[in-house]
Amino acid sequence: MSRFIPWIGGAVGWALGGPIGGVLGFAFGKMFSDSSLSVETGTGPVRRRRPAAGSTSAGDFAAALLVLSAAVMRADDRIMKSELSYVKKFLVQNYGAAQAETLVRALREILERPIEVREVADQIRHHMEHAKRLLLLQYLYGIAAADGELDPRELDEVRRIAAYLGISPRDRDSIEARFHAGSPAARKAPDLASAYTVLELEPTCSDADVKKAYRRLAVKFHPDKVQDLGPEHVAAAQAQFVAVQQAYETVKAARGFK
């Protein structure tokens, strides 16, 4: 476990405090007793480091994802191998195989612990920038869809988390539409309807509204907004950015404007 301490001390800031720190403290136990760390585990008062609000490191992001992943995975009362594999792949890509194994073991411990989802989400909402919360939501949808379909209970949990994170229903639906695309039910739906959802529009909107929405969403979901998290996160953000571009091209073709 000691090999994990540099990751905790160097890569995690605000996530070591509050309810997320409490969950992680449960998972890693004595590792958090290292005097070089500033952490509030929920078991008693200890020194706590307070980074600037809105400053989210890759470690903070991973810690938030780890805890919320457990909430989504438990929503349907079963833990799927595909879901664990999805999370492990993310961790390997960002932290390497050795630390990923440690984090996956921590996730298994977290899955056994009750999680106050609203309190965790409130902590994230307070500290994490909006663009990174949107990316976090994409990962949660990815976990829910990891087995090839979106279970209604997991879907409800992700939507509930989105609301707690301060993500608007339109932004949430824009992201969610991309994950419905792989399900049998979604394949029966018109591509154009999905395109309007991604663009956060109604089919009755004007051409000017379409162009305006595209420009707004292209800025909102631009991968550069999460570049400080690292290249793997930028690549993940790129997927939603491309979805917005494709939706715009679909609507343009249907309406016949340039």
State pLDDT tens for residues 150-188: 889 999 999 999 999 999 999 999 999 988 865 444 444
Residue 82 CA, distance from chain mean position: 17
- What would the mean pLDDT of 77-82 be, rounded to a whole number? 87
**Res 213 pLDDT > 60:** yes
Domains and CATH numbers, the chain: 1-167 (no CATH), 169-258 (1.10.287)
The structure's pTM equals: 0.83
- Please report which confidence band the pLDDT of residue 113 belongs to, taking 50, 70 and 90 as the band edges: confident
- In this structure, are residues 233 and 138 in contact, taking their beta carbons and an 8 Å threshold? no
